[in-house]
Structure 1
Amino acid sequence: MKNIKIISAGKTELFDFAEPIGIGLINSAINLTRICLFDKPDYLIFIGTAGSYGKKNIFDIVETTSASNIEQCFVEKNCYTPLDNIISFSNDVSRETIVNSSNYITTNAEVAKKYLKLNIDIENMEFYSVMSVAKEFEIPTLGIFVVTNYCNNNAHEDYITNISKAKDLLIQRLIDKRIIIKEKNG
């Protein structure tokens, strides 16, 4: 049996069966690197929530192996980077949902539309760093996300309102895919 490790950010996204790795790009990279150094998994599944730039709907479930790290200044054409800012384990990225990661949550609907023009549909703060570490350690990785909010001025309030149901949907998805087994009481 392969050593499959399920990970999540933590804080409000805690699960009995997932190891929390921290919120944001830095903490998640540090903690996942530590995991990979001391008990390297054969496969990683990162579960969490995401904000939609407008194409995906609230409570949509997205599975992907592609992430980007594109900052707002880039979509507004105010900066550039010499770094490769998209990572994918897919052979056909054009068919993948790309998850953008930043330490900041987009709250401007007009900026969100600019991400859509780059074929980026959702954002999650940690997935790019998860994919970066996984690539370095040559660990295939899948991200499973439930959309909790649109990237607009209500993003935080909608996230708070929808997080509980989103976590239930993630658990059910993992049960349906036979990744976890939930014991039934009575």
Structure 2
Amino acid sequence: MIICAGRNETFNFAKEMGVGLIESAINLTRQCLFDKPEFLLFIGSAGSYGNHKIFDIVESKRAANIELSFLEDNSYTPLDNVLESENKMVRNDTIINSSNYISKNFELSKNFNEYGIGAENMEFYSILQVAKEFEIPVAGIFVITNYTNENAHEDFLKNHKEAMEKLTSYLLEKQIIK
């Protein structure tokens, strides 16, 4: 099953799960309880921590839930904050970080690269967490819409339409959709 966030990020071939960690977890859990899919492919946009360029396509089977405060040693968590799905559905280009907040401090957020985390998407960590609970293979394919800097939102809005077209073309080229 191909899934996406929703709201302004929709596709006619993907089921919407909600925006952010909470909405996507609730809706995907409901989906799995009533009609468990054989696999999950999450598609959407991502912000780059600097190593990926605008409109790059990034594939991943790994997600993290690490806040910016962790990078400054101002927080910790007793939870497992990096997840990986064992499958061969996609390449494993980078770890995708998820938070309900969008990073705007590039000098701080670029440090995620030191941990192998190359981009952020608001939903992917919760998608992996739910898939793990239901033992469903999961992967993500993302298109970079912005860098995690002070222009993140404006660049996201400016690049979003073209990015979604490039993502759809990539899925067609890879014969993931027809």
Bin for the TM-score computed over the shorter chain: over 0.9
**Residue by residue, what CA displacement relative to the aligned partner does 1:80-136 show, whole Å, maximum 9, x if unpaired?**
111110000248xxx641000000000001111221122110000000000000000
Q: CA deviation at 1:22?
A: 0.5
Amino acid paired to 1:18 = A
Bigger shift: residues 150-159 or 109-118: 109-118
- Is 2:102 the partner of 1:105? yes
- In terms of Rg, which structure is larger? 1
How many aligned positions are there?
174
Of 74, 77, 96, which residue of structure 1 is paired with 2:73?
Answer: 77
1:68 aligns with 2:72: no
The runs of at least 4 consecutive aligned structure 1 residues that moved more than 6 Å come to: none
CA distance in 2, matches of 1:97, 1:55: 10
Query: 2:117 aligned with 1:117, yes or no?
Result: no
Q: Distance in 2 between matches of 1:138 and 1:164?
A: 34
Map of 1:158 onto structure 2: 155
> Equivalent residues in 2 for 1:15-164 (5 A)?
15-90=11-86, 96-164=93-161
> What CA distance in whole angstroms lies between the structure 2 residues aligned with 1:90 and 1:109?
31
Distance between the aligned counterparts of 1:30 and 1:57, measured in 2?
Answer: 32
Given that 2:58 and 2:93 are in contact with CA atoms closer than 8 Å, whether structure 1 keeps it comes out as: no
How far residue 169 of structure 1 moved from its aligned partner, in angstroms, is: 1.0
Tell me, what secondary structure is at the counterpart of 2:75?
A: coil
1:25 aligned partner, one-letter code: L
- Flag structure 1 segments of 5+ consecutive residues without an equivalent: 182-186
Q: Once the two structures are aligned, what percentage of the paired residues are identical?
A: 58
The residue identity in structure 2 corresponding to 1:15 is F
Amino acid in structure 1 at the alignment position of 2:59: E
Contact 2:106 2:148 in 1 (8 A): yes
Q: Does the Cα contact within 8 Å between 1:66 and 1:90 map onto a contact in 2?
A: no
Partners of 1:121 and 1:85 in 2: how far apart? 15
Q: CA deviation at 1:179?
A: 1.6
Q: Could you state the TM-score of these two structures normalised by the residue count of structure 1?
A: 0.91
In the aligned structure 2, how far is the partner of 1:86 from the partner of 1:77?
A: 17
Structure 1 stretch displaced more, 114-123 or 19-28: 114-123
SS in 1 for 2:32: helix
Distance between the aligned counterparts of 1:137 and 1:23, measured in 2? 20
Match of 1:7 among 3, 9, 18: 3
SS at match of 1:102: coil
1:173 and 2:176 are equivalent in the alignment: no
